[in-house]
């Protein structure tokens, strides 16, 4: 069983980008943390794109290929109805993750389109949020 862990714009720079907000771990560290959190019999497919349509294509692919999605849509969280629509066409569990606690930041980060679909939302746990999300999907899909 495969869990898709999808990451949106600028998260390729994780570890270098505003580390005071997003921490020093890189996306490679996130991949390791997710793999370690996955229960036996589950595997992780971690992807990152700076392009909305590429993320949407992975969500479509996940319809056939996965048992759950962990998604940090990054800035697209706050703007993308298209990502919400793609997730609304996806039946297994979806968990939205934000490294930072978006609700104590600028007001434009307080609204999430993806939260209209997500089965759980994690914000402010840093990279540990991804591990918690993976563990939860394993429980739900196990």
Binding site for ligand DQA (CB under 6 A): 10, 72, 74-75, 77, 98-100, 102, 109
49 is in an annotated binding site: no
User: Of the listed 4, 98, 113, 130, which one is catalytic?
Assistant: 98
CA 126, CA 116: separation in Å to the nearest integer? 22
10 is in an annotated binding site: no
58 vs 24, 26, 43, 119, CA distance in Å? 27, 21, 16, 19
Is residue 103 part of the annotated active site? The answer reads no
Nearest to 102 by CA among 121, 119, 85: 121
116 is in an annotated binding site: no
Is residue 98 part of the annotated active site? The answer reads yes
C-beta of 29: minimal distance to ligand DQA in Å?
A: 14
Edge-to-edge order in the sheet of strand 2-7 = 43-48, 2-7, 68-72, 94-98, 120-123
Q: Catalytic positions, please?
A: 22, 98
Q: Which residues are annotated as a binding site for substrate?
A: 72, 78, 85, 99-100, 109
Annotated binding site: which residue ranges? 72, 78, 85, 99-100, 109
């Amino acid at each position: 069983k495969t869990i898709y862990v999808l990451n949106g714009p600028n998260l390729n720079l994780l570890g270098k980008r505003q580390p005071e907000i997003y921490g020093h771990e890189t996306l490679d560290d996130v991949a390791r943390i997710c793999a370690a959190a996955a229960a036996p019999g589950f595997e992780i497919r971690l992807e990152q794109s700076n392009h909305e349509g590429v993320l949407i294509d992975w969500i479509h692919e996940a319809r056939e290929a996965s048992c759950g999605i962990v998604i940090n849509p990054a800035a697209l969280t706050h703007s993308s109805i298209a990502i919400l629509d793609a997730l609304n066409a996806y039946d297994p569990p979806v968990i939205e993750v934000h490294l930072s606690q978006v609700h104590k930041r600028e007001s434009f980060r307080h609204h999430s389109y993806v939260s209209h679909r997500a089965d759980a939302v994690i914000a402010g746990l840093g990279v540990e949020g991804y591990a918690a999300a993976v563990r939860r999907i394993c429980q739900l899909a196990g």
